[in-house]
Structure formats: C-alpha cells, structure tokens
Structure 1
Amino acid sequence: MNLDPGKLTSVDANGDRINLIPAEVRGFFRKHRTWTQIVLLVIFLGLPWTKIGGHQTLLLDIPEREFYVFGVVFRAHDVPLLFFILAALTLGLAFVTSVWGRVWCGWACPQTVFIDGVFRRIEKWTEGSYIDRRRLQAAPLNAEKFRKSGLKWFLFFAVSSAIAHSFLAYFVGAQDLLGMMQGSPQENRTYFLLASFFTALILFDFGWFREQFCVIMCPYGRIQSVLLDSKSLAVVYDVNRGEPRKGLNKDPQSKVGDCVSCNRCVQVCPTGIDIRNGLQMECIACTACIDACDEIMTKVKKPKGLIRYDTLDGSKLSLKKPRSIIYMTGIAILIGGLAWAVASREPAHIAILRGLGVPYSYVKGVQNEDLILNQFRLHIQNQGEHRARYELALVKSVDHPDLQMQVAENPLTLAPKEFREWFFFFRVPPEYFKNSSKISVKIEVRDLESDFKTSRDVILIGPQL
C-alpha cells in the first residue's frame, strides 16, 4: 500500500474521516506494552472486587458520602484532602511528561489500553489481519461481511458492558451491583440507565470514535508543548540519518539516507501520522513506529534506531533539570501534606454550631434571678469502626469557676458511621459580661470506650454591661 508521507492518513481529500486500520507490529516495545496493558486491565477490572480491611479497595460511595481508598476511609468533610490528591496527580502527570514525554498516552491511558489491548484484538480475531480487515471494509455488504461485522460488534457490546459495570462498581459497590444485576431493571432503574448509558458511550468511543478522541477532544496533546522541553523523551525520527529518503532524492549521484520510504511507520500508526514530519500533536508515543522501523532496518541490514525514543535535543536523559526538580519537590510536599492530614484525623468528626434564632436570650434561674442563655448544637459522627460512647464536659476555668453547662444526653452512644446532633447550653450570670460581650470557654469530648479525647473553644455571647 503506497501512502503519501506528506498527507494525514486519517482524512481524505475532502477532509472526511477515514477509518484507520493500523497494521500489526512486533518488537521490543510491542511486547512490553502488551504486558503493561494486561497488568492495567487486571487492575481496572479487578480492583472493585477486592477488599482491604473488610471494605472494597476503592469505593467512591457518593450517595453515602463515603470514600474507601486502599483501606483509608474519607467522608464528605474530608473533601479538602482532595486538593492534595488532585494537585499531586496533576504535578505527577506534568513531571512524567517533562521527563518521558507522552508515555501516559501510549502506555497507560484507558483510551489506548482498551482499544489496543482489547478491541483491536477482537477485530483481529473476528475479521482477520489488518490486510483482511481493510479489504473487508472496502468490500460491499454481503453475507460474510455481515457475519463478521455482526460478531465483532456483538463482542464489542459485551466487552463494553463489562467495562461499564466494572466502572459503576467503583461508585455503587461491587456486591450491591451484583445484587442489582440479579434483580429486575425496574427495581434499580437509575443504575440500569447509568449502566446502559456508559455501555453505549464506551461502545461508541472504543468501537468507532477511537483516534478522533485523541486528535479532537483530548486536551493533553495540545498542552504538551508547555510541558515538554528539549530534554524530554519523545518518539523522534533521525532526519540526519534518514534523509534524503529513498525515492525522494532527485540527484542519483548523491548519497541516499537510511529511510527506504516503505511507509511502514505510517501504516502502523494508530492516529495516522507520519513521524518523519517531526513531533506532532497527534502522536501518542505508542512506539509502534519504532518497532516497525526497527524490523525494516533489520531486513535491509542497517542499524536500528532510525526512529527511536530519544530526547528532543539528543542529550542524555536526566532528572536533574530545574523543571523536574520543581515538580518533584511539589509532589513530595503534597504527599507529605496528605500523609500528615490523614494521620492527624480524629476518629470523630465534630462541628459546633450556635443554636437557631437569637444568639442569646434571658431566662430565670432557680432563685428567680436573670440569666443569659446560650444554646449550641454539636454535630458529631463516629468515624471509627467500633461503637463509641462520647461524654461532653466543660473544662473548668479559673476565670469562670462557677460556670455550668447542661447537656441533653450525656454520654451519647454512636454506632460506627452514625451521625447525631448533640444539644447543650449555658446559663450565664450577666456579671460575666462586665468587661466584654464575649467570653471564651473550652469544652471536651472524650470516648469512654477508647482513649480518644479532644477539646473545642466555645464563644458565649451576652450584653456588655
């Protein structure tokens, strides 16, 4: 198949899309990408079905506002910790790109892993080699084409459904999802519709849209120029060695480069680019062109590496560059901050709010004296895995030795994950506010079933005399 190296092979002369069927390739990178894809597929599809500490390894239970991440439990009030995670992932991707280029796109992106590792293998099994598939695509609709295409899309649908359900298991819970699947769709209509939607979306993307997502929709390729520098790794074509390529040299007496114009690098490219035109936004660094070119160079008895993984300026790969050091420092700080925040979390979540209505009111005491009433609500949730009996007490102060606190229920028993509102109030003599309209007191919450104890400051408000 003679391809024009100066033309983008994913579109025709009118700019309409051509359905790309890249050629198969063998070699060093292909073998290692296959093993990488197997590991990633096992992790993605198997992770929801594993447990750590009795809980799903990774569960993002949005309705219950509980998130289980490798044995660590986060709840809705822990959302600020997401800053550390998201920022670390962002800097991590920037760091990886600045050093190894678009290795994420070619080796670990779900778009690449599922299409290259699953869907194209189904195509090869049902429709034959890339040459057979190209012929079948160009052939008119007949019984053979209908049978092969029908089997292919049926398997695409089955795989898309499995992926969609595994994806939902991260949010619904694997065991709950299994129970729903065994029941009627009417019993869990919302989740049934979600599973159907994600199945259709995956089928459309991985089965048909494919490289268009990388070229048209994914923003990563467009910002790579900001993340890459001259010392970043990329898939590069050695122009000095390859040019002038065979068939393009007008002077028969001049030296010809090592490129034999076989266009094999273009035929195997999943996005249809010609790597010989230089670094391009559409290149996902899948290394297919490297293996293809190395295979041709071996056949024509020339050194491998005409197309290779190399830094953009040809220098030795190094992490000791200012950009990488800044990224690594930022990642270390964020991971350290996350570790400190998780380690310092209390087994009970406590939030104190002032009572509804006016900030304070007048009431009569036992001896008919005027007292100032301050009401409070303490929101408390047991974040531990065991029952807790919380006791609320006032920390005595030398400034206010006679101050008394009344609690509606003390101690308060909470089961794991249980949430309650705890009401308490103060009756304060007016003379306490002689010098200020606010006085600060300290209360203490302790678990009678464990050694947990924490304190909070409470501000009492009254009229300044």
Structure 2
Amino acid sequence: MESTIAQKQTFRDQLPTADASGGRRWLYPRSTSGRFTRWRTVVAVVLLVALFAGPFVWVNGHPLFLFNVLERRFIFFGVMFWPQDFYLVAIGLLTFIVFVALFTVVYGRVWCGWACPQTIFMEMVFRKIEGWIEGDHNARKRLDAGPWTTEKVVKKSLKHGVFFLMSFAISNTFLAYLIGRDQWLTLITDDPAQHLGGLTAMLVFTAVFYLVFAWLREIVCTTICPYGRLQGVLLDKNSLLVAYDYIRGEPRGKRVKTGPSGGEELSVKSSVRPSTHHAQKGDCVDCKLCVQVCPMGIDIRNGTQLECINCTLCVDACDGVMDKIDRPRGLIRLDSQAGIEEGKPFRFSGRILAYSVVLVALLGLIGFLLVSRPVVDATVLRAPGQLFQREPGGHVSNLYLVEIINKTYRPMPVQLRVNQPGATLRFVQPIASVPAGELIKGSFFIQLPEKTIRQNSTPLRIDVLAGDEIVDQIQTTFLGPVK
C-alpha cells in the first residue's frame, strides 16, 4: 500500500514513454469501444475524406483549396488571396489564436484528440493498420519482445511497407494542396526525370510522415507540438476535461467475490490508504484499463496532465467496467475540476465572455474586410534608378512600373487614369484587361508640362478603373526640375 502511495505521488518524476534508464518505452494501447469511440470514428472518417478530397474538389472551374507558396496563390473555400492580402492573413491568424484560446478554456484539449491530423492519422489509420497486421496489444508486445523469426520479419516488413505507402499517399495529398491538382497530375504521370524537384519534394514529405507515424508517434504531441504546453496557461477550474472523479472512485481496489452464492461484496480491497469517510465507497476497481487504452501511456487517475489529449478512450473503457459491476457510468468523464470537487455545472465565466467578445469583434472585422476587398489590386512604383526625362514640347516624363492583380474568376477590363491637371499617361505596352486570377506587369510614362511643375516631388493620384468603376486609388510622386 505504501509503495502505491509513493508511486502516485511521484508519477511526474518520469515520462510515460521512458523507462527507468531513460530509454524509449514503446506504447501498446489496447483497443476499446463505446459511444465516444464511435463518435470519434465518425468525425475521423469525415475529416479524412475532406482532407484527401480537398485538393481535387473544383467549383466552377477553380479549386476549392490551394496553398501555392511558390507562385504566391492561395485559395480558401473558393476565395482567392494574394500576398497583397497579407493583412487578411495576419488578422485571420490572430482570430484563429483567439478561437483556440477560447476553445481550450471551455473544452480543454479536445482538438488534439478529435480533430488534430496527427492524432487522426496515428490512431485511426496507422494504429489500425498495425493492429490488423500484428494483432492486438498483447500480440504486438510479444512480437516486439520475441526473436526475429520468419513470422516477425514478414509482419514487420508488411507493416512498414504499408506505412510507407500511406505516407506516400499523404505526401501526394499535401503536395496537391501546394501545387494544385493539374500540376500534381502532370508530376505523377510525366517522365520523373523532367520533374526532379517535385519528385524530391514528394519523397521528402513521405520520409517525414513515415518518421512521424512509424517512430515518433506520441512524442510529436508531448515534445514537438507547443499546444500541449500552451494549454497549461489556458485551462482553469471550469474548463471541461477528461477527468477522474476521485471523490467517487477512492479508495480504489479489486472487488472480491464472497458468499456461497458467489455474489459480489460491496466492500473493496483497497490498494491505497483509505480515508475513514470513503473506506467502503470507492468505485474504482483498479483494473487499469484506463491506462492500457491510453495512446499517451498516462494514468488519468493522477489528475490533469500535459500528455492527455482528451481522446476519451479511457472514458469508454471505464464506462464498460462500470456497466459490468453495476455501477453508474461517469467515474471518468468530461467534467471540470470544479464539477468534480464541488458538483458545480459548467458556467459561462467572465474570462469566457472576454474571449468571446474579442473573437466576435475579430470575426466582424475580417468579414468586413473580405466584403470590402477590391476585386482588382494594383501596385505602382517609380522605376528604380530613374529620375526624370525631358521630352520635346516642353514636357517632363517619369517611368513607372505597375503590377495589377485580378482577384476574380473572370477577365477584368482595366485602365489607369492619372488625376492631375495637364498630366498624360502612356503605356509602353498597352494593358486592356487582366486574365482571371492572374497577375500582369507593365510599365508606363507620366508626362507633365515643365511649366506646371512647382516642386521637386509632385504628389500624384492614379485611379485604377474596372470598366467605369474606380476599384483602387494609388498615391505616388512625380520627380521634375525646379528652376
């Protein structure tokens, strides 16, 4: 009993994935079933289908998603974005951070267990493949501990071969998000020698995903991903967590069969020091199923821990045990620390209200900016290294460079108009329209009569028109001689 107490008090002294010597302790989570597991499976299937289908879904001739970093083209839910829209990206990231903070304050780390791609691929794809090939948790443990027999070589080779193929499929999907469906199809159907860069990127992505899912696994969640540590400063006593009801569960212990009828005695054979008040009321039978099913290798009965990803597998495992011993479900459940200790229901606190107000304000701001975003964006810069040129007829000219982006999916007629008395604008190569979703570059001269120039740098305004509508206005300067 004393050794159990000492173990409970010192569980934070070592990582659940490390042995006594500091080496890697491989985890063999036990499979379970239950209502949360079924819902997680449904959510995972929906998200996996959406992820793999995303780059291949096109609407009205354009992709639904595209994150082409090389060509600086981004499409999100069919809306096209360019580097000139970076302010929207910045506000969007800020909105996402506030949303994550609010979501964590209310629901804890549920994102990690239910929606994170790392968890979904690991638990719903790679761990399933491992179970189909090598067997259940005990069979996998025996296989790893045993000698290298023909059976072990075959199973390990088959498993890692399938892992590599799955990693290859995932890397192709992510590459399709980056370069687009059409370029990806060209990459995989054309001569590989003509696309060595793309092939190299595909193999690098494959190696990274294989390393993550075949070797790193839970280390990604505990060491690489910063969100696990971030939740420590976001959670409070009212946050919903996967929590063990120690008030109801302690003192824990095995239930014993007594009596001639073989009936179950209600008292417990305690494995921890009982209190006088709860000596006969502990519902935890110390079966350790909650530990065996945990993909992070922790004991949820020790309280909230950084490694917990709120996957709720321990909830289903414990509910199954409670059903068998005819006790109410919920010994391990989604609840807050205040709910466990004081029986208080979830409340909408001032902290949640503050986060909600900020989030709504940011959503309103980004919505307004999206609606008011110009369909054509132009950038005008004076040609570098150029001052001014005198021209016949008493005129002075400046050379300008222009970039015009069409953010729509239809060709856009454009024209530039300088808003300055006596000024004329002449393109080196005329620009009449901008193709759908494209960026074009050009150059033009602005001429002013020399007698109208009153200063070295004259401010000018250039109007960008799409048809008869002014869609953008650009402020620039005109350099000229002053006598």
Q: Aligned to 2:174, what secondary structure does the other structure show?
A: helix
Is 1:456–2:474 an aligned residue pair? yes
Is 1:425–2:446 an aligned residue pair? yes
8 Å Cα contact 2:29/2:294 also seen in 1: yes
How many Å apart are 1:116 and its aligned residue? 0.7
8 Å Cα contact 2:453/2:481 also seen in 1: no
Of 383, 408, 414, which aligns to 1:390?
Answer: 414
How many Å apart are 1:422 and its aligned residue? 3.1
RMSD, aligned CA:
2.5
Of 285, 300, 314, which aligns to 1:289?
Answer: 314
The correspondence of residues 290-439 of structure 1 with structure 2, limited to 5 A, is 290-314=315-339, 315-318=344-347, 320-357=348-385, 359-360=387-388, 363=390, 365-366=392-393, 371-395=395-419, 400=421, 403-408=422-427, 412-416=432-436, 417-430=438-451, 432-433=453-454, 437-439=456-458
How many Å apart are 1:240 and its aligned residue? 1.3
How many Å apart are 1:460 and its aligned residue? 3.4
CA distance in 1, matches of 2:274, 2:63: 68
How many Å apart are 1:453 and its aligned residue? 4.8
Q: Which moved more, 1:244-253 or 1:325-334?
A: 244-253
How many Å apart are 1:39 and its aligned residue? 0.8
Partner of 2:264: none
Partner of 1:446: 465
Partner of 2:305: 280
8 Å Cα contact 2:374/2:471 also seen in 1: no
Partner of 1:26: 33
Partner of 1:248: 271
Q: Which moved more, 1:222-231 or 1:96-105?
A: 222-231
Q: Aligned to 2:203, what secondary structure does the other structure show?
A: helix
Partner of 1:229: 236
Of 284, 287, 290, which aligns to 1:265?
Answer: 290
Of 106, 121, 124, which aligns to 1:99?
Answer: 106
Partner of 1:177: 184
8 Å Cα contact 2:396/2:449 also seen in 1: yes
8 Å Cα contact 1:441/1:458 also seen in 2: yes
Amino acid at match of 1:152: K
Amino acid at match of 2:126: F
What fraction of aligned residue pairs are identical, expressed as a percent? 36
CA distance in 1, matches of 2:275, 2:445: 97
C-alpha offsets along residues 363-417 of structure 1, whole Å, 9 cap, x if unaligned?
Answer: 3653xx5x54444333323333333443333446xxx4xx131413556343331
8 Å Cα contact 2:251/2:274 also seen in 1: no
C-alpha offsets along residues 76-97 of structure 1, whole Å, 9 cap, x if unaligned?
Answer: 2222221122111111111110
C-alpha offsets along residues 25-66 of structure 1, whole Å, 9 cap, x if unaligned?
Answer: 111111111111111111111111111231111111122211
8 Å Cα contact 2:81/2:407 also seen in 1: no
The correspondence of residues 23-172 of structure 1 with structure 2, limited to 5 A, is 23-172=30-179
CA distance in 2, matches of 1:256, 1:406: 89
Going from structure 1 to structure 2, the CA distance change for 1:175 and 1:391 (only over 3 Å counts) comes to closer
How many Å apart are 1:432 and its aligned residue? 4.2
Going from structure 1 to structure 2, the CA distance change for 1:375 and 1:30 (only over 3 Å counts) comes to same
Q: Aligned to 1:313, what secondary structure does the other structure show?
A: helix
8 Å Cα contact 2:248/2:331 also seen in 1: yes
Amino acid at match of 1:384: T
CA distance in 2, matches of 1:431, 1:153: 77
C-alpha offsets along residues 179-206 of structure 1, whole Å, 9 cap, x if unaligned?
Answer: 2112232221111111111111111211
8 Å Cα contact 2:381/2:476 also seen in 1: no
Partner of 2:265: none
CA distance in 2, matches of 1:324, 1:252: 37
Q: Aligned to 2:329, what secondary structure does the other structure show?
A: coil
Amino acid at match of 2:434: L
8 Å Cα contact 1:392/1:407 also seen in 2: no
How many Å apart are 1:358 and its aligned residue? 5.1
CA distance in 2, matches of 1:97, 1:268: 24
How many Å apart are 1:274 and its aligned residue? 0.7
Q: Aligned to 2:447, what secondary structure does the other structure show?
A: strand
| Gap runs ≥5 in structure 2 | 254-269
Q: Which moved more, 1:409-418 or 1:295-304?
A: 409-418
Going from structure 1 to structure 2, the CA distance change for 1:302 and 1:391 (only over 3 Å counts) comes to closer
Amino acid at match of 2:42: W
C-alpha offsets along residues 251-300 of structure 1, whole Å, 9 cap, x if unaligned?
Answer: 79943511111111111111111111111111111111111111111111
**May I ask how many residue pairs the two structures share in their alignment?**
450
8 Å Cα contact 1:372/1:430 also seen in 2: no
CA distance in 2, matches of 1:357, 1:364: 18
CA distance in 2, matches of 1:10, 1:456: 59
Is 1:189–2:196 an aligned residue pair? yes
Going from structure 1 to structure 2, the CA distance change for 1:234 and 1:407 (only over 3 Å counts) comes to same
Amino acid at match of 1:13: A
